[in-house]
Structure 1
């Protein structure tokens, strides 16, 4: 069993490093440095003017920490074939899952420490939490994450009682964390330590529920692949295309060509592209809300529009390997223009949403309007000068 575990961990590490090097390329790292630097600059500048010990400070810290603690699933690395080939290994599954729990703790622990370090000045100077008490709470959160992963591993068995429900677990942790931060922060570490030890003594079934365990791993991989697919192509990702009726109002029903008909529906119904557009737009709104500065929000809004457009350009190749697309009497001469029309509408819609966020969240409304006009000019340059060139390069590389 140890040999299987080590082999799968090595294979998974190789895969993750491959995609992480594609995601965190030089351009993206530079963008992250600018974004993180702007956020820290705003944070350091404004924290001095915030009042002390407002009633919602400690619940807010508890909510942020509990949310970060919830990030990360148990990576079991099960395969569908395990249902047949490991069916008689139920007594060995705990030995298989223990290294997986340890492996799954790395990312949540890193995120908890990172966010805790960012929140530390606010918790110490504004929320009135002492230094040692705060870091004992952070240690407690790491123990809580271990407890959560252990409960998930036990839920893979046929148990008389299911001790883990994700929603209830988050709610209980949040309530306890809020009460402990308000009254006695050290108490949370004691609760977390008792839970981390006591979870090993909960009654656990002896028969492994293979179908549930494999389905859980497939959902976890799909979440990871969805993240990677925002930046690059994921070879083994299973794409489920379905109609989103609530987005049908965005479809242009007039002056359509066969290509615009297809590209519009691919953009709205293929999660690889629609989720990218939605997530990047929401990310820009979140940055605007956090920064509350028209200048930085406008700069990052332009960066988000450029990154979104750059990653949506491969939409033009979505039908290139579909034989039925090529046997139909569809004109290929103007498909680049058709693709540009669809992307232009999508990016202008994103500009509109980002502009509304600038107006709502920026305290200086007049300057925010000026930033919106500049952002619109930048968007037009991208859409009508840069985009056609990129689309032409895209189709010139296609070989049949």
Structure 2
């Protein structure tokens, strides 16, 4: 099992590095550095205005507890494992233990950074920043270790008692972190350590080989990789990525705005595809909300304009695969419509959606009363949306 794990891990890391090189290119890294710098500057200015109010401790604990949900159990299992590795179910527990340790690496970094970002707030709460930050980071990492143990136990049928659920673990983490902020984060570290040691002490009772749920294990890993690839798909094309179709009756009114006649055949089809396919509408809404929330925090006008352009680009790039979504449909090739109607319909869809997105992004700073920044975001987003729609989209469709 050790050899199998090392082989799987090398293959997985090689594939992830390939996509990460495309995601973190020079332009995106530059924008990311500027954005992080601006957020750190805004955070430093905000900390100077804070006082130890009653809501500060629960809010900080809630944010840190939310960070515990970052990162899932990465088992790296393949669909064929349920058949070919079934005779090795007893030894497969060693594979899963290695996967659990590997799954702890990235969340530990994120949690350590979260604890580091909390150090100025600890000073506001009259807690020693050095010892408080170290013990808080240790507590969060130990809680995450327990969370991964729970995820591993749940891979075995009937092995996880009702009280041992992720929600229960997060509730214990929230209560202990909140209480420790009134005294010292060492209290949360003690609670986390006691919980983790208890799990490790009783862990052997849960891993009966005959209870391993291969189907659930494979399905969970497939969902995890699907979410990861959808993130990569925001920046580059990911082969084989597909989504489901869901009827959304409450959006039928939008589709009815387009007349289902001969002149609007492809426009009607593309709009229906966008509204019903889970791949596109969900990402559009999420990126619009995240973009507006980020722009609410930015006070630097030129940075807000760059961030607005970045989100318009991400959404526009994500919409491009919809242009070829019906290439494999034989009936789409039989439509008696001009060949020029299809690219024009897709351009119209892209232009309208990106224009609406520019308006939604401008709502963020407008809600904070920054009308100049809101107008700049709207102007930059609209101009970039026009260039993307009438220059980049035709060029990509010709290549397609």
TM over 0.5: yes
Say if 1:319 and 1:325, in contact at 8 Å, map to a contact too: yes
Q: Quick check: 1:381 aligned with 2:383? A: yes
d(CA) in 1 for partners of 2:159, 2:375: 62
Question: Is the Cα contact below 8 Å between 1:229 and 1:272 reproduced in 2?
Answer: no
SS at match of 1:183: coil
Structure 2 counterparts to residues 217-236 of structure 1, below 5 A: 217-236=221-240
Cα distance between partner residues in 2 of 1:46 and 1:177: 22
Answer yes or no: is 1:123 the counterpart of 2:125.
no
8 Å CA contact 1:241, 1:270 repeated in 2: yes
Which of 348, 352, 355 is the aligned partner of 2:359?
A: 352
1:243 match: secondary structure: coil
Q: CA deviation at 1:88?
A: 2.6
How many angstroms does 1:65 deviate by? 1.3
Aligned twin of 1:251: 255
* Alpha-carbon distance, 1:138 to partner: 1.0
Structure 1 portions without partners, runs of 5+: none
Aligned length: 391
Change (3 A) 1:82 1:306: closer
Q: Distance in 2 between matches of 1:242 and 1:323?
A: 22
- Give the TM-score of the pair, scaled to structure 2: 0.90
Residue 83 of structure 1 and its aligned partner are, at CA, apart by: 1.6
How far off is 1:113 after superposition?
Answer: 1.4
1:343-373 Cα shifts (integer Å, max 9, x gaps): 12212221222222222123x4xxx1x4444
Question: Is residue 336–residue 392 contact of structure 1 (8 Å, CA) maintained in 2?
Answer: yes
Task: Find out whether 1:47 has 2:47 as its counterpart.
Answer: yes
8 A contact 2:358–2:382 mirrored in 1? no
TM-score normalised over the length of structure 1: 0.90
Q: Within 5 Å, which residues of 2 pair with 1:97-112? A: 97-112=96-111
Q: Which runs of 5+ in 2 are unaligned?
A: none
Mapped partners of 1:33, 1:252: distance in 2: 44
Contact 2:292 2:362 in 1 (8 A): no
Provide the rounded CA distance (Å) in 2 between the counterparts of 1:379 and 1:134: 40
Cα distance between partner residues in 2 of 1:380 and 1:143: 47
Contact 1:152/1:164, CA 8 A, preserved across alignment: no
**Separation in 2, partners of 1:261, 1:172:** 51
Specify whether residues 247 and 111 from structure 1 end up closer, same or farther in structure 2 by C-alpha distance, changes over 3 A only. Answer: farther
Contact 1:222 1:238 in 2 (8 A): no
Within a 5 Å distance, the mapping from 1:1-400 to structure 2 comes to 1-48=1-48, 50-124=49-123, 126-131=124-129, 132-159=131-158, 161-162=160-161, 164-202=164-202, 203-206=205-208, 207=210, 208-255=212-259, 257-291=264-298, 296-362=303-369, 364=370, 368=371, 370-398=372-400
Check the 8 A contact 1:292/1:361 in 2, yes or no: no
Contact preservation (8 Å) 2:266, 2:345: yes
Secondary structure in 1 aligned to 2:244? coil
Provide the alpha-carbon RMSD of the alignment.
2.2
